A and B are shown apart, each in its own frame.
Chain A
Amino acid sequence: MKPAEINVTVDGARRKSADLPAPVRQAVEQAIVANRGRPGALMPILHAVQEALGHVPPDALALIAQGLNLTRAEAHGVATFYPHFRSAPPGRTVVRICRAEACQALGARALEAHAKQTLGIDFHETTGDGAITLEPVYCLGNCGCGPSLLVGHDELHARVTPAAFDELIKTARAAT
């Protein structure tokens, strides 16, 4: 089932969905087609779009809202409520540092300070070369072996010292 061409309002201007960038359109269409029949489809659709595009652009939100018969404000309200969904593209590698208590007990505060200082960015920012986006996370379920850190979608690291952090960043920069 292919959604019919629809009009969306983006940045105040009325555009046809066909005018949106092709990757955005395709990602949204695929996500909607795959999930439309499921109750509570919005969250799975947002996840699918972010997985495809790395973020959920405003264009996509407009299209999703139309596809699900929601107002744009509703779709926007949901997407912005959840820290996991980004509205802008991240760097080539997203690094999430656990800030929570069990990791604090093993040096997470020092690791966080080290990461921000050596990368020269704060949380939710991307390095100038576009390589690394730094994000906070509140527990990764690796609380027995902190400080914990997640690279990308599922590369979990345990007992991360500042030196180990520098190594990880070097590897990430070399790989992308």
Chain B
Amino acid sequence: MSAVKIFVPRDATALALGAERTARAIADAARQRGVEVELVRNGSRGMFWLEPLVEVATPGGRIAYGPVRPADVASLFDANFLHGGAHALRIGAVAEQPWFRGQQRLCFARVGVTDPLSVDDYVAHGGYRGLRNALAMSGADIVEAVTAAGLRGRGGAAFPTGIKWKTVLDANPEKSLQPSALGPQPSKYIVCNADEGDSGTFSDRMLMEGDPLCLIEGMTIAGVAVGATQGYIYLRSEYPHAQRALNAAIANACAAGWLGTNVGGSGKHFDVEVRLGAGAYICGEETSLLDSLEGKRGQVRFKPPLPAIRGLFGKPTAINNVISFASVPIILDRGAPFYRDYGVGRSRGTLPIQLAGNLRHTGLIEKAFGVTLRELLYDYGGGSLSGRPIRAVQVGGPLGAYLPESQFDTVVDYEAFAAVGAMLGHGGIVAFDDSVDMLEQARYAMEFCAVESCGKCTPCRVGSTRGVEVIDRIKANIERGKNLALLDDLCNTMRHGSLCALGGLTPDPVVSALKYFAEDFEPRTGTA
């Protein structure tokens, strides 16, 4: 009998929930029982309440069990789980779960399915078809396909990716050529923004750990399209597991000839290197990120010039989010119309949505734009984990507005969110139950801005610290009316006077908290 394949995720959240111990327990039990098994360390399927989720490849397809703790392993073997046997933890086929059935997994198609580090597995599941097509196309045609697909940047600002790439393609690097002590340097760059600093977001991490070759392929297509030979992935230092997965995947892609001086036998050159950030949220802002990559303090640059004209080391640079790049292979594989046909309005394609915070079912859902917040919170999320009413939801990270129940019918669509003064951002949804104190959330928004400000502009650097003080005075009921007016003023100054969106958008969570949850800013009785 050949070895039975067993999948145990190596995703960071799965590991945090004990996947390593589970994997070891399975390996030990198999050895003791003299059964041959092959452990595959896959990514997570995104159903965190079932992690560690163990899948067994049976002749009738993959059967899932979860959450599997080491103590469950003996009974799973006794129940003949290697052949899909009945057990209290048996889930069945993942694809048939209600959570999974309604999804459209384009970007995340392979995450949790394949061995993330295996190039063979990647290719067997449709990988590198997009790049192969791209290698037979002109740069302009690749850029046109990405434009026609309607892909907008998934890092938060939702700028059309194809238009950015066209600027880089058309940019003349000679103009910005600088002599270098290190010898001849690339004339254009591809940079992946893997700083993923927003609370409530983890889709970049899951993709990098679960299907790193998809990101690498997307970056390679971008390099081929705009004529760049070097790519950097700027990865936050809080993601050590993603770092290992990326480095291993890059080495494997090189060995298989998909990176290096002869990409896929085309004679084209593209290399990728991982660089680590160092705990600064502002380095997710693209110009800070570029300065950090250059070995400087991560301070925001004045724009113009755009990075697409003068970016890394002064050269034209296509800088995009992980999910933006990882959405490109399928566009080049299936064609722009295939991708564009998903979605609503000007939000085309799919969005990997992250459900976080106080929800029963948290995790990752990839769906076409158009689903409502309410469906996500209740149908997918299953309501709050605590069992109490969901009172507030923050979408789009620490700079996103807080929304009350009355806004839960907002549709996942960049414009629909903008219309209610909110932001879809990177697609993170954080739910709070009714124990939340919205004054404290507003205070934290200011505090976060103060901690993370790069210090270059005054409204952000000083305004945020003043904001904390003003909110503290409101809480202490000191000159309430005057301080509420001052807070309003301060928010206006930050919104209009800041150099980047850190200071510019910090007022959004503050103002929305004031607007929708005014009762939390009322004078407090008692000692609270």
Task: For B293, give its contact among A40, A142, A154 (CB under 8 Å).
Answer: A40
Within 8 A of A (CB), among B194-240: 196-202, 204-205, 237-240
Residues of chain A within 8 A of B431, CB atoms compared:
105
B398 CB within 8 Å of chain A: yes
Establish whether residues A83 and B430, one from each chain, have CB atoms under 8 Å apart when the complex forms.
Answer: no
**Also in contact, A143 and B201, with CB within 8 A (given A106-B385, A158-B17):** yes
Task: For B356, give its contact among A37, A39, A46, A102 (CB under 8 Å).
Answer: A102
State which of B29-37, B302-310, B357-365 sits at the interface with chain A. B357-365
**Also in contact, A101 and B441, with CB within 8 A (given A43-B275, A84-B237, A139-B238):** yes
Map CB proximity to A onto B356-376 as digits: 1 under 8 Å, 0 otherwise. 111000110000000000000
Within 8 A of B (CB), among A78-125: 78, 81-85, 100-106, 109
Establish whether residues A101 and B394, one from each chain, have CB atoms under 8 Å apart when the complex forms.
Answer: yes
**Also in contact, A138 and B297, with CB within 8 A (given A101-B394, A102-B356, A145-B16):** no
B355 CB within 8 Å of chain A: yes
A149 to chain B, nearest CB (A): 9
Establish whether residues A44 and B199, one from each chain, have CB atoms under 8 Å apart when the complex forms.
Answer: no
Establish whether residues A84 and B279, one from each chain, have CB atoms under 8 Å apart when the complex forms.
Answer: yes
B399 to chain A, nearest CB (A): 11
Within 8 A of B (CB), among A126-176: 137-146, 148, 150, 153-154, 156-159
Residues of chain B within 8 A of A3, CB atoms compared:
none
A4 to chain B, nearest CB (A): 17
Q: Interface on chain B toward A: helix, strand, loop, or mixed SS?
A: mixed
Establish whether residues B357 and A102, one from each chain, have CB atoms under 8 Å apart when the complex forms.
Answer: yes
**Also in contact, A144 and B13, with CB within 8 A (given A43-B276, A106-B385):** yes
Establish whether residues A143 and B17, one from each chain, have CB atoms under 8 Å apart when the complex forms.
Answer: no
A47 CB within 8 Å of chain B: yes
**Also in contact, A141 and B280, with CB within 8 A (given A101-B430, A102-B357, A105-B431):** no
Determine the distance from Cα of A143 to Cα of B202 in the docked complex, in whole angstroms: 7
Establish whether residues A138 and B444, one from each chain, have CB atoms under 8 Å apart when the complex forms.
Answer: no
A160's nearest neighbour on chain B, judged by CB, is: B16
B292 CB within 8 Å of chain A: yes
B107 to chain A, nearest CB (A): 17
Determine the distance from Cα of A106 to Cα of B277 in the docked complex, in whole angstroms: 27
Residues of chain B within 8 A of A78, CB atoms compared:
295-297
Determine the distance from Cα of A137 to Cα of B185 in the docked complex, in whole angstroms: 36
Residues of chain B within 8 A of A8, CB atoms compared:
none
A62 CB within 8 Å of chain B: no
Determine the distance from Cα of A138 to Cα of B356 in the docked complex, in whole angstroms: 15
B347 CB within 8 Å of chain A: no
A32 CB within 8 Å of chain B: no
Determine the distance from Cα of A159 to Cα of B182 in the docked complex, in whole angstroms: 48
Map CB proximity to A onto B415-445 as digits: 1 under 8 Å, 0 otherwise. 0000000000000101111001000110010
Establish whether residues A100 and B398, one from each chain, have CB atoms under 8 Å apart when the complex forms.
Answer: yes
Establish whether residues A141 and B432, one from each chain, have CB atoms under 8 Å apart when the complex forms.
Answer: no
Residues of chain B within 8 A of A148, CB atoms compared:
16
B194 to chain A, nearest CB (A): 11
Residues of chain B within 8 A of A141, CB atoms compared:
12-13, 196, 201-202, 204-205, 238-239
Establish whether residues B182 and A144, one from each chain, have CB atoms under 8 Å apart when the complex forms.
Answer: no
Determine the distance from Cα of A38 to Cα of B279 in the docked complex, in whole angstroms: 22
Establish whether residues B276 and A47, one from each chain, have CB atoms under 8 Å apart when the complex forms.
Answer: yes
A41's nearest neighbour on chain B, judged by CB, is: B295
Say which size band chain B's interface belongs to: 35 or more
Establish whether residues B297 and A81, one from each chain, have CB atoms under 8 Å apart when the complex forms.
Answer: yes
Query: How many CB-defined contacts (below 8 Å) exist between A and B?
Result: 155
A12 CB within 8 Å of chain B: no
Establish whether residues B199 and A43, one from each chain, have CB atoms under 8 Å apart when the complex forms.
Answer: no
Within 8 A of A (CB), among B127-169: none
Residues of chain B within 8 A of A100, CB atoms compared:
199-200, 398, 448
A71 to chain B, nearest CB (A): 13
Q: Interface on chain A toward B: helix, strand, loop, or mixed SS?
A: loop
Determine the distance from Cα of A125 to Cα of B73 in the docked complex, in whole angstroms: 41
Residues of chain A within 8 A of B275, CB atoms compared:
40, 43-44
Determine the distance from Cα of A42 to Cα of B452 in the docked complex, in whole angstroms: 21
A21 CB within 8 Å of chain B: no
B320 CB within 8 Å of chain A: no
Determine the distance from Cα of A46 to Cα of B276 in the docked complex, in whole angstroms: 10
Establish whether residues A82 and B356, one from each chain, have CB atoms under 8 Å apart when the complex forms.
Answer: no
A68's nearest neighbour on chain B, judged by CB, is: B295
B40 CB within 8 Å of chain A: no
B432's nearest neighbour on chain A, judged by CB, is: A105
**Also in contact, A158 and B16, with CB within 8 A (given A142-B202, A144-B48):** yes
Map CB proximity to A onto B276-303 as digits: 1 under 8 Å, 0 otherwise. 1111110000000000111111100000
Establish whether residues A138 and B452, one from each chain, have CB atoms under 8 Å apart when the complex forms.
Answer: yes
Establish whether residues B356 and A77, one from each chain, have CB atoms under 8 Å apart when the complex forms.
Answer: no
B15 CB within 8 Å of chain A: yes
Determine the distance from Cα of A47 to Cα of B275 in the docked complex, in whole angstroms: 10
Determine the distance from Cα of A102 to Cα of B122 in the docked complex, in whole angstroms: 33
B411 to chain A, nearest CB (A): 22
Establish whether residues B430 and A105, one from each chain, have CB atoms under 8 Å apart when the complex forms.
Answer: yes
Residues of chain A within 8 A of B16, CB atoms compared:
142, 145, 148, 156-158
Residues of chain B within 8 A of A103, CB atoms compared:
199
B387 to chain A, nearest CB (A): 13
Determine the distance from Cα of A159 to Cα of B281 in the docked complex, in whole angstroms: 23
Establish whether residues A43 and B13, one from each chain, have CB atoms under 8 Å apart when the complex forms.
Answer: no
Determine the distance from Cα of A84 to Cα of B485 in the docked complex, in whole angstroms: 37
Residues of chain B within 8 A of A42, CB atoms compared:
295-296
B354 CB within 8 Å of chain A: yes
Residues of chain B within 8 A of A106, CB atoms compared:
357-358, 385
A148's nearest neighbour on chain B, judged by CB, is: B16
Establish whether residues B278 and A138, one from each chain, have CB atoms under 8 Å apart when the complex forms.
Answer: no
Known: A78-B296, A101-B200, A150-B238. 6 other contacts (CB 8 A): A84-B279, A102-B357, A105-B432, A141-B205, A144-B362, A145-B48
Binding site for A on B (CB under 8 A): 12-13, 15-17, 48, 51, 180, 182, 185, 196-202, 204-205, 237-241, 275-281, 292-298, 313, 354-358, 362-363, 385, 394, 398, 428, 430-433, 436, 440-441, 444, 448, 451-452
Can you sample 19 A-B contacts with CB below 8 Å? A38-B182, A39-B182, A40-B275, A43-B295, A47-B276, A77-B297, A81-B298, A82-B298, A84-B277, A100-B398, A101-B199, A101-B357, A139-B200, A139-B201, A141-B196, A144-B356, A145-B17, A156-B12, A156-B15
